[in-house]
Structure 1
Amino acid sequence: MGQVWSAQDLLLGREVAVKLLRASVPGSTHADELRRRFERESRITARVGHPGLVTVHDAGTDADELYLVMQYVRGTDLADHLAENAPYPWPWAVAVAAQLCPVLAAVHDAGIVHRDLKPRNLMLRHDGTLVALDLGVAAVLGADTTRLTMTGSPVGSPAYMSPEQAMGDAVGPAGDLYSLGVVLYELLTGTVPFEGSSALGTLHRHLHEAPAPLRTTRPDLPPALEALVLWLLAKDPAQRPADANAVYLALAPLLPTPTTAVLTGTGPVSAALCDPTRPFRMPFAPWPDHAPQTPWASSPAAAAAAQPVRAPAPDTRSPDTEGDLLAATVDEARRLLGAGRISQALGLLGSALRTAEARHGVDSPVAAALRRQYGALQPHAGAHRAGATPHRP
């Protein structure tokens, strides 16, 4: 449908994302009408103003292209997050869906239907908050999202389309709830519920087949969660939840509380960047700033990154196992770094550092050892983020 570019707002000095959309998209023969709809939907989208939606700064046309200037979101898209953390912990899936519910409620209250919910259009910031992308673009295309091109491929994402959208019928809020059910199913099983050898084959399965039970592959899932996913995936829109609020109320008993431990799939210490449960476990808590950058060259800092960091003896007031836990934390961070999972390694050490500072003091030997390792990883993390692509066409 188009391209997304990273750009600099020269007036305000901020980084932005610019999405370019071709006015003559496949399946559409009315460029002028598309432009009018684009401008109308862009104004509506900008008025929604929910923190879970990417902010639209500007919109317009340039020659044969439509453009949107949007907030630049730092983080990882949900598809990559799933790939890095398979099997996805079910509390994470619940937290993602629960964060998306108020976004959909705000969108639907404004008379908008997203029409293209999928993991690539959802991003997790480093603090675990979720942001939905591409609202308005799918709405602008309207019925064109299901029209077939000459190659027989629909414009859109067949794997996430509701049956009514696959048939080319009018799509309402229930269509977005069906797509949410597909996303939840994929997070919990690692695959979408319906997939065919062609777009038409996938759409046919949406229309005529029942999804495989989730607990056959994930017996750890709560029965209530499986029931909710199947409710969302009902073929008849009238048989799905009434609205996004009803979905949230069904998810609420499964959400972590501020008193529960952090839930991750890796490591002895419970912390990670982009953990979607964090907003529920630590509501309104500030996201800690990164430690000051350590100069990276042929220096003691570089040597420290290349050598294992031995934990100092634990405080005499601490349990005997604390030194072992610290050493295990550092070893796990180094394993994640070796596997290229730099963000997770940094998040693991950052959480351990905050815990050590709170328990033993900022100047304690335990905190100092963790701070050295954390600082040594910072240049790696900076290079990793600089090469990331936070927005995708």
Structure 2
Amino acid sequence: MCQRSLVIEATPGGADYHIAEAAHIVAEKPGGPRGAVDRPADIDGIDNLVLLCPSDHRMIDKGDGRRVWSRRKLLQLKRDHESWTAVLASRPSTPAAGRHTRSGPPGPGDVIVVDGEPYRLCAERAVHRDVADHTEGAYETAVHSGGSGTWCQGHVYGEGATEGHAWLRRSDAPPGTDGLRAALADEAALLLELPPHSGLPSLLGLEMTPQTISLVTAMPSPVTLRDRLTRTRPLPSHDELTLLAGALPRLGDALGALHDRGLSHRALSPGTILMPEPGTALLRDLGLAATAPRAGEKDDLHHAPEQAAGATPPGPPADVHRLARILYELITGRPAGRRGRHVAPSVLNPAVPARCDGMFLRALDADPARRPPVRAFVSSLRTAIETPDGRRSSPDRRY
């Protein structure tokens, strides 16, 4: 049996996506796995290939509805896989120096191999923490609750065929003892199901063993939205706000792509929104999109009211609220208030057009039903910032 990661090109010229593990089955043996059924006419027949879902190793070459793969597609995948196996066999072995071999969790400078590719852990100073109380950019490790194992996450750099910045999350715990393990597998499956989008992360590698699961996603740059807007001064100037406005549509459409499927990120923070270049914003990961929402799931700096308490499970409106809180904080230098009391953004930063005030008011509404869709919110903000009306709010205005 040959078992190796299988990738396909999502679109012509697009990025490659890991879709399965492939196992070649020799069905000619009467006692083989498929020996009791009709044998293929040749060794390259479809019945000699089993595709296994990377999240739970179910066969995906047989089944109902979307799980049915055409004969032509399966043969194409088989040829691609066998070509890759031949290339892999011809490669020189990767030097072992610098790889993580010591006991305990890996640390900065170590190399972790995921799906055959080496990734070096980057050492960065931990300053801010995200929704799950994890550092936004630095590499960190922690012990699972109950001491069942460790998990780690952070910025890595691919040193093989996937050369470049990436985001790694890894859980070292036996199956059934760690919810993060299942969450990472579910997120990988969701990444493969979502249509390609320039604002969404792309899967670089997934590796599962009886003890660990590692998930690596592409990260064009470790520079975040917070880094861009707080680099030179406490409050963004009009020029910086204009760059932000130009970046919002792609970000809003990426979140909208999740919302269109009834999903939501629900873990947005200034460090989970990447800004690799001025005017470009995208998601570092899918947050909690692969996890079933529940009331009271989060209580962090940027949480929506329904995430902290209440009977309504959080959904797409929670992303609108979180995004509004993040943007409010970045453009005014202070967090938005709670319970409907916020100083108008144009009062705190004169570079913010007064037309934006009401937009933030609606997006920060405590009632999810009264918040605008995310695409409408970012579109209206962009229009207001790029075409300011010149009016200013009175110094003591509140809403």
TM-score under structure 2 normalisation? 0.51
1:182 correspondence with 2:325? yes
- Identify the residue that residue 59 of structure 1 maps to in structure 2: 206
After TM superposition, the structure 1 = structure 2 runs for residues 298-313 of structure 1, keeping only pairs within 5 Å, are none
**Do the aligned partners of 2:340 and 2:366 also contact (CA within 8 Å) in 1?**
no
* Mapped contact 2:353–2:385 kept (Cα < 8 A): no
Which one has the bigger strand percentage? 2
**Contact 2:162/2:204, CA 8 A, preserved across alignment:** no
How far the C-alpha of 1:127 sits from its partner, in A, is 5.4
Instruction: Give the counterpart of 1:131 among 282, 291, 297.
Output: 282
Return the alpha-carbon distance in structure 2 between the equivalents of residues 85 and 92 of structure 1.
Answer: 14
Question: Cα distance 1:15–1:146, how it changes in 2: closer, same or farther (>3 A)?
Answer: farther
Do the aligned residues in 1 keep the contact of 2:266 with 2:289 (CA within 8 Å)?
yes
Q: Distance in 1 between matches of 2:293 and 2:358?
A: 31
Residues 23 and 231 (structure 1 numbering): CA distance in 2 closer, same or farther, change over 3 Å?
A: farther
The aligned residue for residue 45 of structure 1 is 191
Give the match's secondary structure for 2:289. Answer: helix
> In structure 2, what is the equivalent of residue 386 of structure 1?
none
State the aligned residue count.
231
Aligned-partner SS, 1:76: coil
Q: CA deviation at 1:220?
A: 3.8
Q: 1:52 to 1:145 in 2, by over 3 A?
A: farther
Within-5 A mapping of 1:266-277 = none
Give 1:15's aligned residue.
Answer: 164
Aligned amino acid, residue 172 of structure 1: G
Partners of 2:162 and 2:306 lie apart in 1 by 44
| Mapping for residues 227-242 of structure 1, pairs under 5 Å | 227-241=358-372
Partners of 1:21 and 1:192 in 2: CA distance: 32
Whole-angstrom distance in 1 between the partners of 2:209 and 2:202: 21
Secondary structure of the corresponding residue to residue 6 of structure 1: strand
Show CA shifts across 1:110-167 (max 9, x none).
Answer: 33211111110111123532121121x42345558955xxxxxxxx671111000111
Q: Say yes or no: does 1:246 pair with 2:376.
A: yes
Hey, what does 1:109 align to over in structure 2?
A: 260
**Letter of the structure 2 residue corresponding to residue 92 of structure 1:** L
Instruction: Write out per-residue CA displacement over residues 13-32 of structure 1, whole angstroms, 9 at most, x where no aligned residue.
Output: 523525124377xxxx9646
Query: Whole-Å Cα distance in 2 between the matches of residues 118 and 181 of structure 1?
Result: 11
Change (3 A) 1:123 1:192: same
Asked whether the 8 Å contact 1:185–1:192 carries over to 2, the reply is yes
* Cα distance, 1:230–1:177 mapped onto 2, change above 3 Å: same
Q: Structure 1 residues 122 and 234, CA, compared in 2 at 3 Å: closer, same or farther?
A: same
Structure-2 residue corresponding to 1:373 = none
Matched AA of 2:218: Q
> Any unmatched runs of 5+ in structure 1?
148-155, 195-205, 258-393
Instruction: Supply the distance in 1 between the matched residues of 2:266 and 2:375 (Cα, whole angstroms).
Output: 18
Q: CA deviation at 1:66?
A: 3.1
How far apart are the structure 2 equivalents of 1:245 and 1:5? 29
Residues in 1 aligned to 2:360 and 2:354: alpha-carbon distance in whole angstroms = 10
Could you tell me how far apart the structure 1 residues matched to 2:274 and 2:371 are?
A: 25
Q: CA RMSD in A?
A: 3.1
Specify whether residues 34 and 142 from structure 1 end up closer, same or farther in structure 2 by C-alpha distance, changes over 3 A only.
farther
Q: Structure 2: which 5+ runs fail to align?
A: 1-133, 135-151, 388-399
Is the 1:79–1:119 Cα contact (8 Å) retained in structure 2? Answer: yes
**Secondary structure in 2 matching 1:94:** helix
Cα distance change on mapping 1:145 and 1:93 into 2, 3 Å: farther
SS at match of 2:306: helix
Q: How does 1:135-214 map onto structure 2 within 5 Å?
A: 135=286, 137-142=287-292, 146=296, 158-167=300-309, 169-194=312-337, 206=338, 208-214=339-345
Identity of aligned residues (%): 24
Distance 2:360 2:302 in 1: 13
- 2-structure distance, mates of 1:55, 1:184: 25
Distance 2:316 2:162 in 1: 37
Kept in 1: contact 2:245–2:385 (CA 8 A): yes
The answer to whether the 8 Å contact 1:93/1:187 transfers is no
Asked which structure has the greater RCO (Cα within 8 Å, sep 6+), the reply is 1
Note if contact 2:164-2:220 (Cα within 8 Å) is conserved in structure 1.
no
Matching residue of 2:236 = 88
Q: CA deviation at 1:218?
A: 2.1
- The code of the aligned residue for 1:133 comes to R
CA drift at 1:236: 0.1
Alpha-carbon distance in 2 for matches of 1:175, 1:23: 31
- Partners of 2:328 and 2:345 within 8 A in 1: yes
Deviation track 1:311-348 (CA, whole Å, cap 9, x = no partner) reads xxxxxxxxxxxxxxxxxxxxxxxxxxxxxxxxxxxxxx
